[in-house]
Every structure is written in structure tokens, then in C-alpha cells.
């Protein structure tokens, strides 16, 4: 997730251009967020690399497990307090299908919308929603970023390819690719830390949707 974020150019308010641009509104949608690891990785990246004084970050956390969602809200709240941005958190206790049916209008106008898929595109119920999900992703106004990660196995590659092929007018920032990271994993059975490598697959896509008003004017 951090590797992909480093390839994504977010406006930095330490850059004089931000003084001209002014406040930056960013939507972050974390699909099947679990404990919000992807959102936390984004916050960790912002804390380290970006001066986000002029940022408003609107987190939308979608998760069918209430217990896990509660933890996600708590962790994102805690971690947000470490950065200067104005942060709002919107939890959705539901699966992707219900979110797309009931809440597809909830994203407010923003300069950027980031769509985070961490370890979820391998799930059959999520894959079934990809056509509807792509309609939704193309209905959100402004610049869109799709960031996906997951472990290396066939269902994940399948989900990544389905999502990529169902979106149109894309800029592929990072095509579906393997990666590996050093990791420290605690072994409960052996009671010690194991130094290992974890193997994953990632993808980063960008596109820009024209506003509904422009679409209407274009069609007229
Ligand atoms: C492997 S976990 C990944 C959690 C988190 N994104 C992460 O990377 O740590 C998969 C998550 O997807 C959620 N999930 C399962 N089916 C789903 C569905 N149909 N729509 C949305 N989320 C779903 C599960 O509750 C679980 O939290």
C-alpha cells in the first residue's frame, strides 16, 4: 500500500502551489476495511511524507462485521490525531452489495477520491459486485485513484484483472504486479518472532470523471 501511495501524487501543502489551490478535499473509501489497515497505511504515509494542514480527509469505512468496524473507527480516530488534517469518519456496517444499493450517493464533492481494496478482491461476493462497483466508481465526480493489494494467489489476480478490465479511460499507474516485503511475524506456537518475506500483488489505477453537469451539457 505504501509503495503504491508513493507513486501517487497528492498535493503537498508545503508546496507553494497549495497556497494558490487552497484547501484540498480527499475522500477515502476503504472497502471491506476490517480493522482499517489500508486507511492506517495511508495515514502513516501522510504523516511521514505530506504536510496536510490544508487537507480535509473524509474516511468511508465499509465492513460487515460490527466488532471489526468499531475497531477500525477507533484506530483511524487515534491515528488521525497525529496529523494536521481535518478528518471525518463515516462507518458503514454492511457489505459491498448493500453499500452500492443504499449509499452510492454519499461521497461529497472532493478534489480526489481514493478507493482502497486491501485483501478483498479475492472474495467471491465482492467480485460479483465488480460491474456495479465500476458504475459507481465512474459516477463519483473528480479525480479517482484505485489502490489494490492482496496476497499472491489466483483469486486475487482474477479480482484485480476483473476490476481493471471493467473500468474505462484509465491511466495505469501500477499494473498488476508481484511484490515482496520484509516482515516480522510473531509465532504463537514457538513463542518468538520470525523474520520472513511476505509476497503480495498490487495495482494502482487513476481516472478522472467529468461532472454530471458537464455530462448533461455534453449530451444536450
Ligand atoms: C481478509 S479481510 C481484509 C481486511 C482489511 N481490508 C485488511 O486488509 O486488513 C476481508 C474483509 O472483507 C470483509 N468482507 C467479506 N465479505 C465482504 C463483502 N461482501 N463486502 C464487503 N466486505 C466484505 C470481511 O468482513 C473482512 O473484514
Counting from 1 in the atom list of ligand 1, the atom nearest the Cα of 65 is 25
210 compared with 116, residue with greater pLDDT: 116
CATH fold of 25-219 reads: Rossmann fold (3.40.50)
Instruction: Report pLDDT for 185.
Output: 85
153: nearest Cα among 183, 178, 130, 182:
178
pTM to 2 decimal places? 0.89
- For ligand 1, the distance from its centroid to the CA atom of residue 61, given in whole angstroms, is 11
What is the pLDDT averaged over residues 19-40?
Answer: 87
CB 109 within 8 A of CB 115: no
Instruction: Report pLDDT for 5.
Output: 60
d(CA 105, CA 212): 13
What is the pLDDT averaged over residues 107-118?
Answer: 93
Counting from 1 in the atom list of ligand 1, the atom nearest the Cα of 63 is 22
pLDDT per residue as tens digits for the range 119-152: 999 999 999 999 999 999 999 999 999 999 999 9
144: nearest Cα among 133, 152, 155:
133
29: nearest Cα among 102, 98, 89, 84:
89
Instruction: Report pLDDT for 176.
Output: 94
What is the pLDDT averaged over residues 152-171?
Answer: 95
Residue 134 DSSP one-character state: H
Count other Cβ atoms within 10 Å, centred on residue 149.
25
Count other Cβ atoms within 10 Å, centred on residue 131.
11
d(CA 194, CA 191): 10
Please tell me the least confidently modeled range out of 8-12, 59-63, 119-123: 8-12
- For ligand 1, the distance from its centroid to the CA atom of residue 160, given in whole angstroms, is 15
Q: How deeply is 101 buried, as exposed, middle or buried, from its count of CB atoms within 10 A (0-12, 13-18, 19+)?
A: exposed
The overall average pLDDT reported for the chain is: 89
d(CA 212, CA 88): 25
Instruction: Report pLDDT for 2.
Output: 59
Instruction: Report pLDDT for 1.
Output: 63
Report the nearest-CA residue for atom 10 of ligand 1.
Answer: 120
Instruction: Report pLDDT for 20.
Output: 38
CB 204 within 8 A of CB 173: yes
Please tell me the least confidently modeled range out of 12-26, 59-73, 179-193: 12-26
Amino acid at each position: 500500500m505504501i509503495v503504491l501511495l508513493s507513486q501517487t501524487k497528492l498535493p503537498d501543502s508545503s508546496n507553494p502551489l497549495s497556497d494558490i489551490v487552497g484547501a484540498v478535499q480527499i475522500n477515502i473509501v476503504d472497502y471491506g476495511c476490517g480493522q482499517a489497515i489500508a486507511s492506517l497505511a495511508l495515514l502513516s504515509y501522510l504523516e511521514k511524507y505530506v504536510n496536510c494542514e490544508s487537507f480535509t480527509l473524509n474516511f468511508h469505512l465499509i465492513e460487515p462485521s460490527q466488532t471489526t468496524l468499531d475497531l477500525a473507527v477507533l484506530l483511524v480516530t487515534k491515528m488521525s490525531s497525529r496529523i494536521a488534517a481535518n478528518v471525518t469518519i463515516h462507518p458503514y456496517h454492511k457489505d459491498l452489495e448493500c453499500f452500492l444499493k443504499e449509499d452510492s450517493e454519499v461521497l461529497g464533492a472532493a478534489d480526489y477520491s481514493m478507493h482502497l481494496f486491501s485483501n478483498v478482491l479475492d472474495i467471491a461476493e465482492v467480485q460479483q459486485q465488480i460491474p456495479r462497483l465500476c458504475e459507481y466508481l465512474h459516477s463519483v465526480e473528480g479525480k479517482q485513484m484505485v489502490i489494490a493489494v492482496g496476497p499472491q494467489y489466483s483469486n486475487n489476480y482474477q479480482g484485480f484483472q476483473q476490476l481493471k478490465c471493467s473500468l474505462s479511460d484509465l491511466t495505469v499507474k501500477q499494473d498488476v504486479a508481484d511484490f515482496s516485503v520484509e516482515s516480522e511475524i510473531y509465532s504463537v506456537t514457538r513463542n518468538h518472532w520470525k523474520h520472513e518475506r511476505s509476497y503480495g500483488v498490487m495495482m494502482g489505477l487513476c481516472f478522472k470523471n467529468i461532472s454530471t453537469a458537464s455530462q448533461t451539457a455534453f449530451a444536450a
